Amino acid sequence: MTAALVRKELRQLLPVILGLASLLVWSEASAFLLHPPDQYLAEAEGWLLNSHAGRLEAVFTLILGLVVAYNLLPGEHDQRTIEFLYTLPVRRRTLFLTKYAVGVGLLVALSLLGTAASTIHHALNASSFGRQLYPPRLLLLKIAAGDIGLSFVVVAYGMLLSFFRRLGWILFLLLWLSLEVGERLYPPLRVLNIRSLLDVDHQGLTPLVDGRAWLVQGAMAALSLALAARLWLSDAGGFAGFYDQLRKQVGLRRAGVALGLLAATLASGALMLVWVEAPPSDEPGLSQRTLTFETERFHFTYREGRADRAMVIIREADRAYRRVRTWLPGPDGDGGDRIVADLTDASSEHLGIAGWKKLRIDLRPSSPALLRHVLYHETSHVLAAQPGELPERQAGLRFFSEGLAEYVAYELEPQPEEREHARRMAALARTRYQLHVEDLMSPGAFVARHDEFLLYALGEVWVAGLVEACGPQLPARLVATFADPTLPRSLAGLELWRAALQRHHCDLDRVMSRYEQRLRRLEPSTNLVPLASARLVDEEAGRLVFEVVVVEAPTPGPWQVTVRLRDDPGTPVDDWVIETFPVTKGTPQRLPVRPPVRQGQRFEFQVGAAKDDQARPFFTRWQSVTR
């Protein structure tokens, strides 16, 4: 009887099977036919071989699990064929579990087919590295966790959600949203998110699977399955009646959807409000009342408690606008729109941020010179922003955009000491880490390994090289050229630069030569930049203990050494742990630092030294380390 039930379920799932099989066939056809199968290494992107690469795969499998589960029971109840099944000499619980087992079996079978195909791929690979990418122990882990374990979990969730028919999808979205926001507010909640199952760290070549996440998700899946069984086997008629009524009454249905969306919006809005609007911890007692101020070119918003610092910016703003326009000329009148300037921002990520006719500045820095620098920098961004710029090109040109804003800010509001320090840092980074201009054109990969400020510093030297090689009008012309739709979309990297510069009769080699010359000239003075290094030596009382030393510095100090910790390159900057300590040159010091929020098995850190808390430290590269 069970075999007959399984056959019946498979017939019922046939459309899903065909759909999923088509996806699999397409993917494998691409891997085996559209690429040379002995060179294709898509599996090298897999979740077991790359830290944090499995998050998307887990979500994709969850959606597949929901689709499969939705094809198991709701249809039977809606068409009342379940009543026929209940007349068979089989316990209802057995029917339910058979359906669950078939759903899980289908997902497992498809996953195993995919794994088998990738195993064949590896066996065919021309490189011995490729052939050994998945040793047997990893293959077994992939099958046990990614193919089998995950299928059990996702179909169990699907069995529960499918009870609520289409409302289940709304419920799913609400839960998803809550988990995403909840995780941002309280990172240990990540174990409740399905992504945590395939989100692994690595110790060398060994993946460190999060056993706690599997335990929690396994328990949640078992509970979901038990609850689904209880609902489907006892109250299915009651909910079906309610759902039928809901479907038939259009008004009620619309009201339900609207209510659901409203609840989702309110819930996420409230959570985001708690998250975003929480006043920074260093501003107790400051009036948070919001005030506005209009100038000829700007509309400012600022907090009453920061009025003195806001005025430093407001008084300079229109002058800054006119002066930046001399570097970045635009259309006459600019349409008369003011730039909306939000001075209520407080972020550990940036001092300022700019977009299309908008900018935000953090007023917490006390130095008027720094505030003015940020104003000029962000105003440059606003005036350089081009509506036609290709988003995919923006990423590769980010170093130019930031470098241009820095260059213009330093030219118009000179801070020779800070500029020289930034340029020395650029020169030091270039020699110490063998950075090439091409490295700057992949900002994602760059900031995964280096301090983001180096993009600004190296970008500023690049713009100085452009101006030196081809004149002060060139940067503004390049901004327009990069947004020109006639510039081939396929161009990227150095080829894009070569093509854009040629339009202005400028030569890439000349620019690169000026850029390199400038950095080389600065090399002898890079010994003025203090250098710190650190290593994790212990854990005490819940804190990570680093041995920190200032290895090179022009004086004994003490120097302000900053240690930054994050879980991985995807960690939002606001979640980084940043602590600063005074350290004397040459004396190793044990410093306890708060652990990162996620408290996984691996984390990343970097360390930098500066003369005081206003100066920019030169940070080491991000190192990942096992606790």
**Contacting residues toward other proteins, per CB under 8 A:** 32-38, 41, 44, 49-51, 124, 127, 129-130, 132-133, 202-205, 207, 433-434, 449, 533-536, 602, 604-605, 620-621, 623-626
Residue 343, phi then psi, degrees to nearest 5: -100, 15
Shortest Cβ distance from residue 148 to other proteins (Å)? 22
> C-beta of 446: minimal distance to other proteins in Å?
13
Going through 298-456 in order, the beta strands assigned E by DSSP cover 298-303, 339-345, 352-355, 358-362
Give least dist CB 193 to other proteins, A. 22
CB of 207 to other proteins, least distance (A): 7
Nearer to other proteins, 284 or 444 (CB): 444
C-alpha pair distances (Å), 57 with each of 197, 379, 445: 10, 41, 21
Residue number, 385 or 519, with CB nearest to other proteins? 519
CA distance 555 to 560: 13
Angle of helix 453-470 relative to helix 474-482, nearest 10 degrees? 110
Closer to other proteins by CB, 266 or 551: give it. Answer: 551
> Which strand (E) or helix (H) includes residue 543?
strand 543-552
Query: By C-beta, is 120 or 353 nearer to other proteins?
Result: 120
CB-side exposure of 400: number of CA atoms within 13 Å?
A: 28
Which element (helix H / strand E) includes 566?
strand 559-566
- Taking the least distance from each CB to other proteins, the nearer of 159 and 565 is 565
**Nearest to residue 127, comparing CAs of 43, 66, 239?**
43
Q: How many CB atoms lie within 10 A of CB 403?
A: 26
Nearest distance from residue 565's CB to other proteins, in Å? Answer: 11
**CB nearer other proteins, residue 181 or residue 435:** 435
The CB-of-210 to other proteins minimum distance in angstroms stands at 15
Residue nearer to other proteins on the CB measure, 86 or 129: 129
Minimum CB separation from other proteins for residue 54, in Å?
12
- Residues making up the chain, counted from first to last: 627
Rounded Cα distance between 447 and 621, Å, is 9
C-alpha span between 600 and 546 (Å, rounded) = 18
Instruction: Give the CA count within 13 Å in the CB-facing half-sphere of 166.
Output: 11
Amino acid type, 211: G
Q: Cβ closer to other proteins: 407 or 446?
A: 446
Nearer to other proteins, 178 or 624 (CB): 624
C-beta pairs of 205-214 under 8 Å, 24+ apart in sequence: 207/48, 207/49, 207/138, 207/141, 208/601, 208/602, 208/626, 209/141, 209/145, 210/600, 210/601, 214/145, 214/149
Report CA 402 to chain centroid distance, whole Å: 20
* Radius of gyration, CA atoms only, the chain: 29
Rounded to the nearest whole angstrom, what is the least distance from the CB of residue 55 to other proteins in the complex? 16
CB 48 → other proteins: shortest distance, Å? 9
Taking each helix axis from N to C terminus, what angle separates 398-412 and 416-433, rounded to the nearest 10 degrees? 150
CB of 544 to other proteins, least distance (A): 12
Least distance to other proteins from the beta carbon of 209, Å? 13
Query: Which residue, 44 or 85, has its beta carbon nearer to other proteins?
Result: 44
Closest CA to 548 of 595, 580, 594, 596: 580
Strands 339-345 and 358-362, sheet pairing: parallel
Decide whether 124 or 220 has the Cβ nearer to other proteins: 124
